[in-house]
Amino acid sequence: MNRKSPLSVALCALATTPALAAAQEITARPATADACLAISSNAQRLACYDAALGYVAPSPQEADLAADAAERATVVAADAAGEDERARELFQRDLDPDTRATIANAGRGSLLDSRWELAKDSKLGIFQLRAYKPVYVLPGFWTSRTNATPTSPNPNNTVATPERLDSIEAKFQLSFKTKVAEDLFGDNGDVWVGYTQSSRWQAYSSETSRPFRETNYEPEVMLVFRNNYSLFGWKGRMTGISLNHQSNGRSDPFSRSWNRVILNLGMDRENWAFMLRPWHRIEESARDDNNPDIEDYIGRADALLVYSRNGHELSLTARHSLRGGDRAHGSLQFDWGFPINNLLRGHVQVFDGYGESMIDYNHKATYVGIGFALLEWF
């Protein structure tokens, strides 16, 4: 019987995931607008019409200037209406639709808007799969130090018998999200549900039957708001709050899991995006906690800086425990996505520190991976 290898199954999943179809863009200009009628996807049909009619959307900078001007005009008009606070609230509530739409379209087309549909005219409706985190396959993923006996302060989660592990394995990641509610508070406030899965596969360890060493599952639900403020030349685009679960789905002594409430602050400028995420862990009972000191290693916050231009994308992710002394731990991860041809992208990943995966949350090592990406952050 011809059985597919786990890697080939993963590659097929990557190639066919609906998130990729949602991320496709209309790049060729159709001969007439009638050619767009056959497209079932609302987003792709609109992009087709824009291409056919030669429509060019305003730049994010133009959208910001228009929104700022509309907001200033609103403040001036509200002041003219009187100093009573109630009068101001009524005035702003009764803004004409064009002014309200201009304000709500701040940042349209910016990096964060392209991923989170923040501006009014960027919203594409609910229950359509969208890209979330990078989607990649790294056939070569090397570590400087394997973790043959994972440990935890909980004795039920400490491995006594060393595993046989190769220092070279394969890694891949899938990630997507979908919006389940839109504009909960007037023209703002969207609810997204996301899912990310990353696997580390001992693909070259024939002596141990090539097992999957570690797979991390990360479902989450997020409430996201559009912002429009300036800070040191950056534009504040979004604020989000999410409920996040992460685990490796294994039984003791290998089981690892935690739940978090995460605050997400997002800013961008031209080709740059910056995301700051402090979080609070939801405590568990001492008996059920697989990794009671996980915050002192994987951390209590992370920050992501992304630069995207001409098909190249560079990102740096930093995590830290936000504690000093013996509790000061963290990590740095660098990713570089680059075009190979029109259909294929290369991807390089370098990680150093604690917590590359959940089973290794308190294990320090350097990891280097190289492979291919189907989607990057932007």
- Domain at 292, CATH number: 2.40.230.10
Question: In the prediction, which pLDDT does 93 show?
Answer: 60
What total of structural domains would you count in the chain? Answer: 2
Question: In the prediction, which pLDDT does 43 show?
Answer: 64
Asked if residue 53 belongs to a domain, the reply is no
Asked if residue 85 belongs to a domain, the reply is yes
Question: In the prediction, which pLDDT does 51 show?
Answer: 80
Q: Give residue 97's domain range.
A: 60-104
Owner of token pair 């019987």: 1
pLDDT truncated to tens, each residue of the chain (378 aa)? 444 444 444 444 444 444 444 444 434 567 788 888 888 766 678 778 878 887 777 799 999 999 989 888 877 776 666 655 655 555 556 677 888 899 999 999 999 999 999 999 999 999 999 999 999 999 999 999 999 999 999 999 999 999 999 999 999 999 999 999 999 999 999 999 999 999 999 999 999 999 999 999 999 999 999 999 999 999 999 999 999 999 999 999 999 999 999 999 999 999 999 999 999 999 999 999 999 999 999 999 999 999 999 999 999 999 999 999 999 999 999 999 999 998 889 999 999 999 999 999 999 999 999 999 999 999
Query: Is residue 89 domain-shared with residue 199, that is, in the same domain?
Result: no
Query: Is residue 95 domain-shared with residue 135, that is, in the same domain?
Result: no
Asked if residue 45 belongs to a domain, the reply is no
Owner of token pair 């089973």: 359
Question: In the prediction, which pLDDT does 105 show?
Answer: 95
Q: Is 135 exposed, middle or buried (0-12, 13-18, 19+ CB in 10 A)?
A: buried
Is residue 247 part of the annotated active site? The answer reads yes
Asked if residue 308 belongs to a domain, the reply is yes
Contact status, residue 102 vs residue 175, Cβ threshold 8 Å: no
Catalytic one of 40, 245, 357, 363 = 245
Asked if residue 41 belongs to a domain, the reply is no
Question: In the prediction, which pLDDT does 21 show?
Answer: 40
CA 359-365-371 angle, to 5 degrees, is 85
Query: Is residue 235 domain-shared with residue 95, that is, in the same domain?
Result: no
Contact status, residue 66 vs residue 103, Cβ threshold 8 Å: no
Asked if residue 91 belongs to a domain, the reply is yes
Question: In the prediction, which pLDDT does 46 show?
Answer: 75
Q: Residue 17 — φ and ψ, nearest 5°? A: -60, 135
Is residue 245 part of the annotated active site? The answer reads yes
Asked if residue 52 belongs to a domain, the reply is no
Query: β-strand 190-201 against 330-339: which pairing, if any?
Result: unpaired
Structure-token pair, residue 115? 């991923």
Query: Is residue 86 domain-shared with residue 139, that is, in the same domain?
Result: no
Query: Is residue 180 domain-shared with residue 255, that is, in the same domain?
Result: yes
Query: Is residue 342 domain-shared with residue 266, that is, in the same domain?
Result: yes
Query: Is residue 152 domain-shared with residue 74, that is, in the same domain?
Result: no
Catalytic one of 40, 247, 321, 347 = 247
Asked if residue 314 belongs to a domain, the reply is yes
pTM of the complete model = 0.84
Helix (H) or strand (E) holding 224: strand 212-231
